Amino acid sequence: MQTYLTSNPLLLYTHKGSGACTAPLFLFSPCRFFFSIFLPWCIMASFNWPQGSPFWSARKYGWKDFGGNVQMDFNTEDQPESAQGTEAVSEDKTGTPASGLEPDGKPTFEEAAYREADVAEPVKEADSSEIEGTEPDREAHGTETDGIEAEREADGTEADETEPGAEIIRDAGHFPRTKKYLVFWFCYFAAVLVFLITQYRQVVGTDLNDRKYGNLIFILLAAAVAVTAGLAMFVMQPRKLRGKNGKELKQRIRPWDFAIILAADICAFLLIEYVNNDIFDQMEFRYMALNVLGIFIMNMILLFWLNSVRRSLMAVTAIWGSMSIAFYFVYLFRGEPLQLIDFFSITTAATVAGSYTFTLTRAIVVDIVVSACLMAVWLNLRCHVIAKKLWGKLLMRAGVAVFMFGMYFFYLNVNWNGGLGILTDLFAPMKTYQEYGTTVGFFCVAKYMRLTPPDGYSVSETKKIAEDACEEESPNTTTDTKPVNIICIMNESWADYRMVGDLETNQPVMPYYDSLEDNTIKGHTLVCIRGGGTAKTEYEFLTGNSVKRFPGMVPYVSYFTHDEYGLAKTLSAQGYETAAMHPYKGSNWNRYTAYRLLGFDHYYTEDDYDADTEKVRGLITDRANYEKIIDLVNSKEDPTQPYFLFDVTMQNHGGYTSADYTGDITVDGYTDDSVNRYLSLEHLSDQALEELIEYFKNYDQPTIICMFGDHYPALPDSFTEYISGSSYDDLPLQDQMWYYATPFFIWANYDIPEKENVLTSTNFLSTMLLENTGLQMTDYNYYLKDLQETIPALNHMGFVNADGIYTAWKDGDTKSLQDEWEYECLQYNNLGPKGRRIDWFFALTEDSGKSRKTSGG
């Protein structure tokens, strides 16, 4: 790597072998904080010295006039007539210079400051009773008033329309700083400073490497707070000119306002990357500029819509400052960055947030303190606007709406990201965020959230695929026994880290699951998510569709607008009473609507549990959950009534940093409280599973139970690297896919074929379950059964063929890719518009499966 020093001593660039010029080194060195955040902030503050303040006056007229004041007063009754006159003369009859001029004829500081101000000196309008002069006198008076209004108009200052007689009187002294004003800012900065002091350990750090530059950063932050406090309380409070009614006079936007806006956008970009991007130093400079441009465009939209420089700056600072923190914690807890779909599931995020422990980092403290200082600067800016008249505001906002519509069309339908060389990784969005910037990466990933058909899709072609599938040969089901009770459990964060690496613990984590053999099919099922997104795996199991078609989206939230076919409707058509249960907030992931559209008769939530139900970490335990399942099965009026229950557990949900639960499972040679807590919770799940299975072993009615995990939890990377001996990115495809292989089993209290080490994927799992029930299946189930013969398992990364070879989709053979395309066409038709759906293929009818050839089984 070569280093080049430009003519600007602050811009030290690195040049890598590819020839791409990366970003300035000063942004990534320990001093990057000073040059990228503290120094730009000081420069912005210097641009905003208000006219009339001491520093502004000294800069404009020399330090000899430092300390001049400008004051506004709305009471003019005590003013001498000379102050209310309509014309000023440079010298009176005695030769004494007129008010406002020095003996040498130059303007005084007060007068010079006034002339430089953005408002011409208004003149008090005399009452009709006071004007007793001749008509020419009155005409002269009116002429001067018109001249003042014209001067206001030319200068861009909005006159007080409601109080035309308002008067501004200028005397020595600062803009009046009331006690209330000083108390507010004192409390504001005291709170910021107290927050900074309480986070001293986080800023400075604990180890030697952190402390090396931590003290410097703390000092710079404290200095920023002190300087901003001084500017806000004693310097930067502008002379906000007001009319007699007390309203602030608005001024036209100035050219230098755009420089301030650009500087604020750069600061917003640096803050969000400083908090979230560990490889910021590897980002190309052009992508940095693209991020700033994107923020600048958003700022311009806000500026023209809000019609205020001050408000747009405050909005951008608040949005990007808060989003910096949101992006950090979402990735920390879930292992995936914040995406647009998360804003549609904000209630779900809010309900589970209490189970996590939020610990601030140095970067977050910097973000909060700098944002607070910037907000203080923006609050003290003059009110610069673009339009003053109502018609101008309406026209401007109409233009913004038209621009937004055009940008929306361009954003969705033009390959702008590809043209800029951006490769969007929809299944690993964090890579896109880090390589191209958080702002650009966010919008690139969000672009692909729409439900779009596969290339070459048509209803007629899809119908032909469905008809051809019905002619294929399918084996009979594996049993003739039809269970009365079908219980399906998606166990939250149920994972098997023995598939990831060599996990050794002080005691077995899942001994009962390992012991299941009789009438059991078990193994692992591939899912498309890690760390979060429970509803995606749930959707795959209940519908037979794969979410690999819409990464980043949750069908429950985004696409469920009409009735959907799936397991619940298939069983309901055969006389089963269907129920769903989730021992937490029922509204999460839009489940109330989703379950109704999927055909469930009942939905049980935490509200249906007793107040004294057993909980751990504030969440209902699996043991209490399974006891509720047993109660529901036993509460049927007719024990022979077919019953289907789908349950989503909650005990093992993320938030393993909470000290409310410790557990007794530890990892040999590795110490981490969050890992120990998770494995201990999984051990509790195994104990609850034993109680559930043992209860139904001797149950009078045929019962089948299927359980699977939704995804792996978000545990520290150091843990998986310890047990696997390698980082995830350095692993081959097969080992990477094991990070998405959760355990599953199908158990029955009647005879079913016994299998071990089965590898499947969640979209095939419900069909595999139906095969062992002796029940009728839909043509779509038979299609999935046939597809599983050639592609036993698949997820977003790739697939496993019949020979057990793991292959990425981009490296797939022609036959496999053709099968994938046909599968995607059927999925799109199943989820897409109701009027164009091939209902007979997805719904259970009298003719379902009859057109197929069957083989003995």
In a domain, 219, yes or no: no
Compute the half-sphere exposure of residue 490: CA atoms within 13 Å on the CB side of its CA. Answer: 26
**CA dist., res. 509 & res. 684, Å (int):** 9
What does pTM read for this prediction?
A: 0.66
Same domain, 397 and 353: yes
| pLDDT tens-digit map of 578-617 | 999 999 888 777 888 889 989 999 999 988 999 889 999 8
Q: What is the mean pLDDT of residues 269-290?
A: 90
In a domain, 24, yes or no: no
Q: Which two tokens stand for residue 752?
A: 């079913």
Same domain, 438 and 497: no
In a domain, 603, yes or no: yes
- Find out whether 569 and 844 touch, Cβ atoms under 8 Å: yes
**CA dist., res. 183 & res. 239, Å (int):** 19
Q: What is the mean pLDDT of residues 13-26?
A: 37
| pLDDT tens-digit map of 113-134 | 444 444 434 434 434 333 344 4
| pLDDT tens-digit map of 431-490 | 888 889 999 989 988 887 777 788 888 899 999 999 888 876 555 566 778 999 999 999
In a domain, 635, yes or no: yes
Continuous H helices in 414-452: 416-419, 429-436, 438-446
Task: Please say which residue of 449, 466, 496 terminates a domain.
Answer: 449
In a domain, 501, yes or no: yes
Same domain, 333 and 433: yes
In a domain, 74, yes or no: no
Same domain, 519 and 665: yes
| pLDDT tens-digit map of 212-270 | 788 888 889 999 999 988 887 777 665 555 555 556 667 788 888 899 999 999 999 99
Residue 592's contacts (CB-CB under 8 Å, 6 or more residues apart) are 586, 603
Which one, of 334, 347, 342, lies nearest residue 588 by Cα? 347
**CA dist., res. 583 & res. 136, Å (int):** 87
Three-state DSSP class for residue 330: helix
Domain carrying residue 299: 250-449
Of residues 89 and 419, more confidently modeled: 419
Write down the pLDDT at residue 775.
92
Give me the chain's average pLDDT, please. Answer: 77
Write down the pLDDT at residue 108.
44
- Find out whether 241 and 249 touch, Cβ atoms under 8 Å: yes
**CA dist., res. 371 & res. 393, Å (int):** 29
In a domain, 57, yes or no: no
Q: Measure the CA dihedral 830/835/838/844, to 10°.
A: 80
DSSP string, 775-787: ----HHHHHHHHH
Same domain, 428 and 547: no
Helix (H) or strand (E) run with residue 643 in it: strand 643-648
Same domain, 536 and 444: no
Q: What's the domain count of the chain?
A: 2
Continuous H helices in 759-856: 762-771, 779-790, 814-831, 839-842
Same domain, 424 and 514: no
Same domain, 488 and 441: no
Q: Which two tokens stand for residue 429?
A: 């969005």
Same domain, 492 and 349: no
Same domain, 418 and 495: no
Write down the pLDDT at residue 477.
63
Same domain, 767 and 836: yes
CATH code, domain with 767: 3.40.720.10
Helix (H) or strand (E) run with residue 797 in it: none
Same domain, 422 and 496: no
With cut-offs at 50, 70 and 90, classify the pLDDT of residue 656: confident
In a domain, 492, yes or no: yes
With cut-offs at 50, 70 and 90, classify the pLDDT of residue 766: very high
